[in-house]
Structure 1
Amino acid sequence: MPLTPLFAAVDIGGTKIAGALVDGTGRLRHRLQLPTPAREPGAAVLAVVHKVLDQLAGTPDWAAVTAVGIGSAGPVDLADGTVSPVNIPGWRGFPLVAEVAAHPAVAARALPVRLAGDGVAMAAAEHWQGAARGADNALCLVVSTGVGAGLVLDGAVRPGPSGNAGHLGHITVDLDGDPCPCGSRGCLEGLASGTAIARRALAEGWRPPGEDRTARAVATAAAAGDPIALASFDRAAQALAAGIAATAALVDLHRVVVGGGVATAGEVLFAPLARHLDRYAALSYVRGLDVRRAELGTDAGLIGAAALCR
C-alpha cells in the first residue's frame, strides 16, 4: 500500500523552534519543540534546527515526507533562500534553505525545501484550516515575541516577491518612537509584542507577585484589574489598531485574524483593540472589520509551513 504523503514542517521563532510531520488535512504527527538560543551565534541556532530535523527523520513516518516547509521569523529573502530575523542576531542573510537542504536526511532524498516568513506561514495556515477560511481578503497577525503578519488577497496568500508582504511588525506607528533593532524607529513590534508589553509594564512600576515578568503574567494581572497591566495592553492594542487600520485602508481588507501568544490574553487584548479600531478604521470601506481570534494556536506556524508545500 502506498504511503500517505506527509510534509515536514519547521517553525522558527525568537523563543522556540518547533517541528512536526503534517498530513494533507493539516493534522500533526511527532510534534516537538526546543528553545531557540537566540543570543548565541548563528551556528548554535542552526544546530537546534538540525536537531529538530534529526528527530523527525528518526520516525517511521519520515519515508512518507515529500517536502520540507519552513516558517521563520523575518525578514526573509525568497530569492536567495535567506533569513535575517530581527530577534535572532546571529542570523543575518543566513542561507537557511541551503542549510536545511544539506541536512543528511533531507539531502538523501533530495526533498524540496519551501520557505516563508512566520506571518505568511500563519496566514497560509489560518486560510487553509483556521479563522481565515473562506475569506478572499484577510490580514493574519502573529503577536508574540515579535509581530508578524501575512496577507490573503483575492483568495490566495500573497507573500510578495521577497516573501515579506504584510510584515506589519516593522511599519512605523510612532513617528518619534524608540529606535528598533531593524534600523527604523517607532515600529509596531516595539509597542505591541509580548516583549514590549512586559517591558512597558515593568517600566511603569508593575511588579509580578513572583519571578514571572512575561506578557502572560502581565495579562493575568490585567485580567485581575491591575491598572498598569491594563494600560500596557491598551497601548499595545492601540498600536495594533493603527497598523491594522492602515493595512485595511491600503488593500481593502474585510477580515483580520489575530494569533500568537499575546492573543491568548483574550478580552484583555481584544476589547481595547476593538475600541481603538473604532477610532482608526474610520473610512467607510474599512469600518466594521471582522476581527477574529486565530483558531490554530501554537500549531499555526507548523500547519502553515506544511501549507507552503501543498
Structure 2
Amino acid sequence: MISTTLGYVGRFAPSPSGPLHFGSLVAALGSYLQAKSQQGKWLVRVEDLDPPREMPGAADDILRTLEAYGLYWDGGIMYQSQRHEAYQAQIDQWLSEHHAYYCQCTRKQIKAAGGFYPGTCRDLQLSAQGCAVRLKVDQPITEFDDLLHGRIEIPLSLAQEDFIIHRRDGLFAYNLAVVLDDIEQGVTEIVRGADLIEPTGRQIGLYRQLNQPEVRYLHLPLAVTENGNKLSKQNHAPAIDKQQPKPTLLAAMRFLAMTPPAELSQASLAEILDWGVQNWQHNALPKSTAITLAFKNDEL
C-alpha cells in the first residue's frame, strides 16, 4: 500500500473495453499533469471488473498507448480482477454487521416504482440465492465540492438510495471496487471525466462508512462530438494513433485550455509533457461538463 504521507497520489483507471480514444487521453493527461505539477505520484489501474464488456488484449493495448504518448506511471499496475477477495471480505463484513442486505428486486420492478429503489428488501432478511447485495444508506451525501465546478448538489432521491455493491450476476459493483482500490493505493485526489460526477456522492459515503479520509475530486470536461455524443468506446470512438502521438497529445493539451507554442510540435514527447507540467493550471479549465470538439475524429 502506498502511504499518503508521501504526498499527492493521483491515478488513471481505464476499463479495457476498447482502445484508448481521445476522450480517454484527455482524462489520462489531465490526471497526469495534475499529479506531476504537484511533484506527486501518478498510478495506473486497470478496471477489468466486467468481463462481458472487455475486449481481448485491450488492457495491454491501453498500457502500450500510454507509453507511446510518454505517459509513464509510477509503480506497478493494479488489476481489479485480482482484487475480488478484498471486495468480498468487505461485503461479508457489512452483511454480518447488518450494514448491507440481500435484495431480489429487478430493474423492471424498480423502474415501475419510480426509478429509484425504495428499500423494498431492507428488512426482509433474504438469503443470497438469486440476489444482489445493497449497502444501507442512512446518511445520504447530498452535495460535495469539486476543484473545478465548486459545490455540486446531488438529488435527494438518488443520494438516499440503498445502492448495489454486489450484482445479481455475481460481479462486484464499480462504486465499491473503486473506493476500496483508491484506499489501498493511497490515492489523495481523483481527476476524471465529468460523466462520473453522479456516483461521487455514493463514493464519498463509502469513505465515511469505512472511516477513511476522503479524497478530493476534479471532474474534467468531456469531449463530445457535434451531435452531443461523448467520445466513448460504446460510441465507437476511434483509437488514437500510437505511431504519431505528438499532434494528438498537443490537441489534448489545447482541449484542456492550454496554449502550447507552435515550436513545441518539433519537441520530443518528454519536452512536450515537461512543458505541460510547468504550465498546467486546473483552475484555467472551462467550468463546463462537456466541450464540443473543434476537429473530426479522423483528424486525430
Task: Compare the two structures and name the one with the higher strand fraction.
Answer: 1
Bigger Rg over Cα: 2
Q: TM-score range by the shorter chain?
A: 0.3 to 0.5
Length-normalised TM-score, structure 2: 0.32
